[in-house]
Amino acid sequence: MELIKSVAEMAELGRKWRAENKRVGLVPTMGYLHEGHLELAKQAVAENDLTVISIFVNPIQFGANEDLDVYPRDLEGDLAKAESVGVKYAFAPEAADMYPTGFATTMDVAGVTQTLCGASRKGHFQGVCVVLSKLFNLVQPYRAYFGQKDGQQLAVVRKLAQDLNMPVEICGVPIVREADGLAKSSRNVYLDEECRKQALVLSQSLQVAKRLYDEGERDAGLIKAAVQAHIETAPLAQIEYVELVDAVTMQPVLKPEKPAMLALAVRFKTTRLIDNIILG
Amino acid sequence: MELIKSVAEMAELGRKWRAENKRVGLVPTMGYLHEGHLELAKQAVAENDLTVISIFVNPIQFGANEDLDVYPRDLEGDLAKAESVGVKYAFAPEAADMYPTGFATTMDVAGVTQTLCGASRKGHFQGVCVVLSKLFNLVQPYRAYFGQKDGQQLAVVRKLAQDLNMPVEICGVPIVREADGLAKSSRNVYLDEECRKQALVLSQSLQVAKRLYDEGERDAGLIKAAVQAHIETAPLAQIEYVELVDAVTMQPVLKPEKPAMLALAVRFKTTRLIDNIILG
């Protein structure tokens, strides 16, 4: 496992691999790796000549009142886990190397960034677009891998790559869950025992939606109300949103005809969890 | 000379050249080529394995009241000129292929885009950033060539490429002038005989600035006043701006210590001309 810490060194390696016509897989992460990340890494290792995992808690995608400072970190553990699934390169830059004084570039993808998490986390997806543009330019990957867990992020990066003709294939990978259904997330470590137990309503509520959809229900209001009612059986759950959106545009739909995403964000005490399911 | 009209075809060629490890030079233009453009093309041909000239009047860098519809076009003439200096590929896409319905991505580089032409042409450099990002991703050039004539554009693309770690070398090429000093520009065809004659004050006024600077003058206000006074000797000249800015940041300077750019934009009847000189 080679650890690259400098942006200049990463750029040089990217250029070298390009000159050697290597097909590079990139797995962009914020570290504190769990099996969801490792699933991305395994797929990247299987499909490319070599795989780079980036480990970078990107400051510009966090809001002022968010958990940047306490976001869990474990670089040594991450390197061991990534190596165990065949990843050969980890890129873990410093924030000051990624965003030196005078950094001035901003990006946005209208529409797809504005709903769901984009509505409550102002600037979040704009920061995601910038860091992914940088990572793509540095690593020059042939494919980049993203979890369906962050369903809106996947939709944003697909649209960004399409609009800007980025020479990279964006690969979405299904959500990995705990045995009891909770979606794997680095933020699950924040949950105390009580919250951890009650957080099960999230994945269960998505199954409620799926059952209704499979039975033919197409009224978004009814589906969302059933999901919401199930979540509310957990006394600690504070719903931020439950929404049914088009799976590509992330815009709310009244009657799903094309594939739709039932997405939710719910707080348990101070921990904000997201989950989603594709319907159709 | 191979003419590529489709975005998908350009992307495929870019991927092919990359796999063959070809060093590609890119000369982005809006067409109606003059000797300034050909100077860029010659340098690109000399320094790279192959050269692509892009010819695209980028609608999103024009304001509502600007000259998009009447911007001069001559694709056949352009192809012949580019071919005459050794360019083998021309990329001339349709606007609807570059910006299909639903296109949603925006970019900005704060600071450097806000002064000079950026102050009066709202959205101009933001549109330049988007189109150049697309062209770089499609062609995957090793080097891209820009004229010093559009000095602020060159500063913007340098900063954009630096901020986003774009794997391309940005090459600036000195201004090419007519025998009498007028900077070559596609917009010079708009000038009637009277305007063409009076427009000479622009390059002359830059020489006034240079003389003062070379003599040791470092008061920006004095230098600008002398330039302005010379331009005002032409009755048809309507000054939009005369400014002395840092050559990298494009921010106004009071006393030039690092290299500075004396830049001006002046209207002659309906034709807006720009010119500049680097001091120091």
Given a contact cutoff of 8 angstroms between Cβ atoms, the answer to whether B61 and B28 are in contact is no
Q: Chain A contact for B248, CB < 8 A?
A: no
Per domain, the residue ranges of chain B are 2-173, 186-275
Please give the pLDDT value at position A182.
98
Choose the mutation target among A6, A125, A135, A137 for the interface with B, i.e. most B CBs under 10 Å.
A137
pLDDT of the residue at B48: 98
What is the mean predicted confidence (pLDDT) over A193-215? 98
User: Could you give the CA distance from residue B90 to residue B26 in angstroms, rounded to a whole number?
Assistant: 10
Q: Is the CB of B96 inside 8 Å of chain A's CB atoms?
A: no
Q: What is the strand order of the sheet B237-246 is part of?
A: B237-246, B260-268, B271-279
Q: Could you read off the pLDDT of B113-166 as tens digits, one per residue?
A: 999 999 999 999 999 999 999 999 999 999 999 999 999 999 999 999 999 999
d(CA B116, CA B257): 20
Q: Going along chain B, which residue ranges are E strands?
A: 2-4, 24-29, 50-55, 89-91, 105-109, 143-147, 169-173, 237-246, 260-268, 271-279
- Which chain A residues are within 8 Å of B101, Cβ to Cβ? none
Q: Which residues of B touch A142 (CB under 8 A)?
A: none
Average pLDDT of the residues of chain B: 97
Cβ–Cβ gap B167/A104 under 8 Å: no
Taking only the tens place, the pLDDT of each residue in A84-132 is: 999 999 999 999 999 999 999 999 999 999 999 999 999 999 999 999 9
What does the pLDDT look like over B139-148, one tens digit per residue?
999 999 999 9
Domain B186-275, CATH 3.30.1300.10 — does that match?
A: yes
- pLDDT by residue (tens digit) across A241-252? 999 999 999 999
Q: Which amino acid is at B117?
A: C
Average pLDDT estimate for A47-61: 98
User: Which of B23, B60, B164 would best serve as a mutation to test chain A binding (most A beta carbons within 10 A)?
Assistant: B164
Q: How far is A140 from chain B (nearest CA, A)?
A: 8
The complex scores an ipTM of: 0.97
Q: Given this model, what pLDDT does residue B245 score? A: 98
The pLDDT value recorded for residue B156 is 98
Domains B2-173 and B186-275 fall in the same CATH topology:
no
Nearest to A133 by CA among A100, A104, A111, A157: A157
Positive or negative: CA dihedral B207, B208, B209, B212: positive
The proportion of chain B whose per-residue pLDDT surpasses 70, expressed as a percent, equals 100
Q: Burial code of B97-107, b = ≥16 C-beta within 10 A, e = fewer?
A: ebbeeebbbbb
Q: How confident is the model at residue B190 (pLDDT cuts 50, 70, 90)?
A: very high
pLDDT for the residue numbered B28:
98
Question: A7 and chain B: CB distance < 8 Å anywhere?
Answer: yes
- Encoding tokens for residue B27? 């000369």
Mean pLDDT confidence for B101-106: 98
Instruction: Note the pLDDT of residue A199.
Output: 98
* For range B90-118, the mean pLDDT: 98
**Does B11 contact chain A (CB < 8 Å)?**
yes
Q: Would you call B164 and A106 a contact, using CB atoms and an 8 Å cutoff?
A: no
- The neighbour count for residue B280, using CB atoms within 10 Å, is 12
Residues 6+ apart with CB under 8 A from B179: none
Query: Which architecture, in CATH terms, is A2-173?
Result: 3-Layer(aba) Sandwich (3.40)
User: What is each CA distance from A75 to A94, B62, B98, in whole angstroms?
Assistant: 12, 47, 41
- Establish if B140 touches chain A: CB-CB under 8 angstroms: yes
Other CB atoms closer than 10 Å to residue B214's CB: what's the count?
10
Q: What pLDDT score does A253 carry? A: 98
Looking at residue B53, its pLDDT comes to: 98
A34 confidence band (pLDDT: 50, 70, 90): very high
A101 contacts in B (CB within 8 Å)?
none
The answer to whether B27 and B38 are in contact (CB under 8 A) is no
CA B26, CA B91: separation in Å to the nearest integer?
A: 10
Strand, helix or coil for residue A125:
helix
Annotated catalytic residues of A are 37
CA-based nearest residue in chain A for residue B13: A167
pLDDT score of A163? 98
Angle, helices A7-19 vs A124-139, to 10°: value is 50
Q: Is there a contact between B145 and B169 (Cβ–Cβ < 8 Å)?
A: no
- List C-alpha distances in Å: A240 to A147, A237, A268, B124: 21, 9, 11, 38
